[in-house]
């Protein structure tokens, strides 16, 4: 909603008013009505009423996108009346000429994309369109996503894509993962022209998938991914990046771990752990790093990286051979006795359920008794334990319940769910 108010009142008015609000209420709280009152002089009565309606809405707009013979069809629905500012789309020709238009609500709008041109949705970055978009899985789904990038990496459309809107770059290349860079030789020049760091990450991730079947990408990818400008934290999409970058990345990671992780090198360390060094070496390296990690953030990132390996093994990350599963199971079990936060327990339990480690259920129950999270979090663990136990009142489930205990501090809904977990979905 803030971005819609910003668009409605203009940049200068928005930031001037927002600074006034921050100054006037610096030592207290501001209510919704007090906040809106500051902007009221620059908004008409109808817009203010629409904002109030949108703020209590229980849903979001939807936009259905289809590739048709005539181009791309977009149908925008605003059932909950949350749109204060129109959603704009831009069609850019091969020469870079742009036509901007508002998308009407409730009717399909067909947009013609000229050969070599592309379609940009919400270049102003006002609306979270990515969360609304519904692209039915039809034969035209590839055509729709390919329409979001220029048809050729040359000329006016290409220049427009790299200069008009960083948010559009991010949406197309990262959020929706559209491959754009066609050859290894154009990888670095394209990265240099992109404004969005997430867009760069999207290009690198999609290029890694190309490299899986085309070794000509390896050298360019190794140079790009190991450069400081590519550093990213919790980037599991880099798990599919391999080839010639793995050996130097592993050597650097080993050196960092042995020399000690510090504030000066922690960002580099967190970037290097994104890559896949094989199941055994990944577990060995990161177990050693965990023992030396100086902060909670770094320790949590290490556990998240190992959890991601378990959850996406055989996909982004390599499979874990049957003979190595016991070591991974033992690692995650070893984390349970010292877990003190629900976020860390969620990471560990996610790996445990994926590994189908029913023997860990008593330890999970014991930690839940100590942490005693909110009902929604508690319910997800109870139902997860129920599913892991096989949806049955068996020895595994009873061991979990016994370890959980019957603390008086548990809420009535928690106790009811433990007594009758059959309502778990």
pLDDT for residue 138: 66
Max CA pair span of the chain: 70
C-alpha Rg value of the chain to the nearest Å: 26
Confidence of residue 130 (pLDDT cuts 50, 70, 90): confident
Confidence class for position 259, pLDDT limits 50, 70, 90: very high
Residue 180 pLDDT grade (very low, low, confident, very high; cuts 50, 70, 90): confident
Average pLDDT for the chain: 91
342-354 vs 375-388: helix axis angle to the nearest 10? 20
Spatial separation of the C-alpha atoms in residues 123 and 100, rounded to whole Å: 10
Nearest to 3 by CA among 70, 54, 69: 54
pTM of the model: 0.81
Question: Distance of CA 11 to CAs 14, 129, 171, 261, Å?
Answer: 5, 21, 23, 43
Whole-number pLDDT of residue 205: 87
pLDDT in tens, 214-226: 888 888 889 999 9
pLDDT at 206: 85
- pLDDT score, position 314: 65
**Collapsing DSSP states into helix, strand and coil, what is residue 385?**
helix
For residues 349 and 289, give the distance between their C-alpha atoms in angstroms, rounded to a whole number. 21
Contact by Cβ (8 Å): 165, 100: no
Determine the pLDDT at residue 240: 86
DSSP 172: I
Q: In which band, very low, low, confident or very high, does the pLDDT at 425 lie, cut at 50, 70 and 90?
A: confident
String of DSSP letters for 130-169: HHHEE--SSTTHHHHHHTTS-SSSSSHHHHHHHHS-HHHH
* Residue 134 · residue 63 · CB < 8 Å: yes
pLDDT, position 242: 86
Which of 19-23, 144-148, 232-236 ranks highest by mean pLDDT?
A: 19-23
Whole-angstrom distance, CA of residue 352 vs CA of residue 263: 31
The Cβ of residue 312 has, within 10 Å, a number of other Cβ atoms equal to 17
Sequence-separated (6 or more) residues with CB below 8 Å from residue 90: 98, 99, 100, 101, 119, 120, 123, 164
């Amino acid at each position: 909603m803030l971005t819609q108010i910003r668009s409605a009142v203009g940049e200068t008015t928005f930031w001037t008013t927002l600074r006034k609000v921050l100054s006037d209420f610096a030592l207290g709280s501001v209510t919704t009505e007090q906040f809106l009152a500051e902007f009221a002089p620059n908004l008409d009565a109808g817009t203010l009423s629409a904002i109030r309606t949108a703020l209590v809405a229980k849903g979001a707009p939807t936009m259905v996108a289809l590739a048709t013979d005539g181009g791309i069809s977009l149908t925008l629905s605003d059932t909950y009346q949350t749109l204060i500012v129109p959603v704009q789309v831009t069609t850019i020709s091969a020469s870079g000429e742009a036509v901007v238009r508002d998308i009407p609500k409730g009717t399909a709008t067909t947009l013609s994309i000229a050969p070599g041109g592309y379609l940009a949705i919400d270049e102003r970055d006002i609306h979270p369109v990515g969360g609304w978009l519904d692209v039915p899985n039809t034969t035209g789904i590839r055509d729709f996503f390919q329409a979001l990038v220029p048809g050729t990496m040359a000329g006016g459309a290409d220049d427009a894509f790299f200069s008009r809107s960083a948010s559009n770059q991010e949406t197309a290349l990262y959020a929706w993962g559209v491959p754009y860079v066609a050859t290894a030789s154009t990888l670095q020049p394209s990265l240099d022209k992109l404004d969005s760091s997430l867009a760069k990450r999207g290009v690198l991730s999609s290029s890694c998938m190309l490299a899986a079947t085309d070794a000509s990408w390896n050298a360019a990818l190794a140079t790009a991914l190991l450069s400081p400008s590519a550093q990213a934290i919790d980037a599991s999409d880099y798990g599919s990046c391999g080839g010639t970058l793995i050996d130097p990345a592993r050597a650097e990671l080993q050196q960092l771990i042995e020399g000690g992780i510090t504030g000066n090198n922690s960002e580099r360390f967190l970037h290097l752990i994104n890559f896949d060094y094989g199941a055994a070496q990944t577990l060995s390296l990161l177990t050693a790093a965990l023992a030396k990690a100086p902060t909670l953030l770094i320790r949590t990132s290490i556990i998240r990286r190992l959890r991601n390996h378990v959850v996406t093994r055989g996909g982004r990350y390599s499979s874990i051979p049957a003979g190595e599963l016991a070591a991974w199971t033992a690692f995650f079990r070893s984390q349970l006795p010292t877990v003190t936060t629900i976020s860390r327990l969620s990471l560990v339990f996610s790996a445990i359920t994926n590994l189908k480690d029913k023997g860990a259920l008593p330890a999970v129950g014991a930690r839940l008794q100590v942490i005693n999270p909110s009902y929604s979090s508690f319910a997800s663990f109870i139902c997860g334990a129920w599913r892991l136990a096989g949806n049955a009142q068996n020895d595994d489930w009873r061991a979990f319940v016994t370890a959980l205990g019957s603390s008086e501090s548990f809420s009535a809904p928690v106790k009811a769910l433990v007594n009758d977990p059959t309502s778990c979905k």
